[in-house]
Chain A
Amino acid sequence: MNETKTHINPTLLKILKTVPDPEIPVLTIVDLGVVHGAEVLDDGSVEVKIIPTYSGCPAMDVIGDDIVTAFAEAGIKAKVKLVLSPAWSTDMISEEGRAALEKYGIASPLDATADKEALLGNKKLVKCPQCGSKNTELVSQFGSTACKAQFKCNDCLEPFDYFKCLK
């Protein structure tokens, strides 16, 4: 699923795994799937390639800065390159990432077909991360960040965010 991991050597990966997503701190940028590759250049510095989740996601600049800081703490000079291809999709979120989202109170993305049904309000498919009930209702297709929609649970009555499917 996350083929990008194969390009990264373990030492670099370890450092990258310490960088959290600024909006959803329980998720590392590796679990989010935005790290497309990292390599050591001839001069000993590191180049990290990241792909944006949404074109206008303001977190990308912060993620870039955080990566540079994380490497600097390990005594390594790093620079970050934003690449546009491949286009990020929610399939790039790892299993660990999905579990972390649920635990944090954000419902993780369904597959594309189910996602459409859920967002059109046709079927009740999104599981409430608080009580596990599927008796949930769409409040708005857009949420507090570009990647989320707003739902509420009709059983425990809690509102919650749903990380919408992007494919």
Chain B
Amino acid sequence: MNIKQQDSRLRGNYILGIADNSLILGQRLGELCGHGPSLETDIAITNMSLDLLGQVRSYYQYVAQLSGEDKTEDDIAFLRLEREYKNVLLVEQPNTDFGYVITRQYFFDVFHLLLMQELQNSKDETLSAIAKKGIKEVSYHKRFSGDWVKRLGDGTEESHNRIQNAINDLWSYTNELFEMTEADQQAAEAGIGVDVSKLKEKYYNEITELLNEATLEVPETKYFHKGGKHGVHTEHMGYILADLQYMQRTYPGMKW
């Protein structure tokens, strides 16, 4: 393998680590299409899903181009095995109730925006362009999810308890966002990627502030799950992929 191929492979792996989060969360949110708790939230959630899937297309098209093989964005989205998806465990967690949907979204949005703000300085022009575009969309997502965290937390006893449950449950998936894989490390050193471990303090400060405002408690657990970034997923992932890949596996090469 020559240096150029090595570089392309490194970039490809790094990009999948970012892009797969958007794909799996986009798919999760898409499940709520027509099932949202109200028309407005249904539309909002599917709008966010669409933004995420749009970002994924830009990333995957770029990865396909970098691979130098005869691959397309669809191959990358639909034809990998579970272990080859590098998304964090947080985004694959199920839509248990609206409290979970909002908490998962808010926990991811805060991270996502911090990441995009750094990624726009990437030496890789395509990544920088995707991030610049993404910032505008993700800011909007965070405004929506943050508003709802406050509304549910500061709402009725029922809404408060529900979202507090979701926070307690999903909190243990947040730390993985800041884990540096080998691909992350190499990409950060090359000036292409972001050192996510440096975003951790900002992230937890921002979330703590909002939870306090929403009269919610910050969990004290010190136990955190990880594995997704290395392809080791929770039991939910197989079901997501079954749904996601069904059409392409049944009708290979199918196009819209």
Residues of A in contact with B (beta carbons under 8 Å apart):
52, 54-58, 84-85, 87-89, 119-120, 139-144, 146, 150, 166-167
Contact = CB atoms under 8 A, between A and B. Distances in A.
Interface stretch (B2-10, B52-60, B84-92, B177-185): B52-60
Given A54-B51, A56-B57, A150-B40, 17 more contacts: A52-B133, A54-B137, A55-B55, A55-B130, A55-B134, A56-B52, A56-B53, A58-B50, A85-B132, A87-B129, A87-B136, A119-B143, A140-B41, A142-B40, A142-B43, A142-B48, A167-B136
29 contacts: A52-B133, A54-B137, A55-B54, A55-B58, A55-B130, A55-B134, A56-B52, A56-B54, A58-B50, A84-B126, A84-B130, A84-B133, A85-B125, A85-B129, A85-B132, A89-B136, A120-B143, A140-B41, A140-B43, A141-B44, A141-B140, A141-B143, A142-B43, A142-B47, A142-B48, A143-B43, A143-B47, A146-B47, A150-B40
B144 interface: yes
Nearest to A88: B133
Contacts of B126: 84
Contacts of A119: 143
A140 B143 CA distance: 12
A87 B138 CA distance: 14
A84 B136 CA distance: 13
Nearest to B134: A55
Interface of A is mostly: loop
Interface in B35-87: 40-41, 43-44, 47-48, 50-55, 57-58
How many interface residues does chain B have, given as a range? 20 to 34
Nearest to A120: B143
A85 B131 CA distance: 10
A140 B128 CA distance: 30
Given A141-B140, A166-B136, A56 B51 contact: yes
Contact of B40 (A56, A140, A166): A140
A55 B141 CA distance: 14
A58 B128 CA distance: 22
B55 to A, nearest CB: 5
B50 A146 contact: yes
B54 A87 contact: no
Contacts of B144: 141-142
Contacts of A52: 54, 133
B51 A146 contact: yes
A37 B176 CA distance: 43
A166 B129 CA distance: 15
Interface centre among B57, B133, B140 (most CB of A within 10 A): B133
Interface centre among A87, A139, A144, A167 (most CB of B within 10 A): A87
Given A139-B40, A140-B43, A84 B54 contact: no
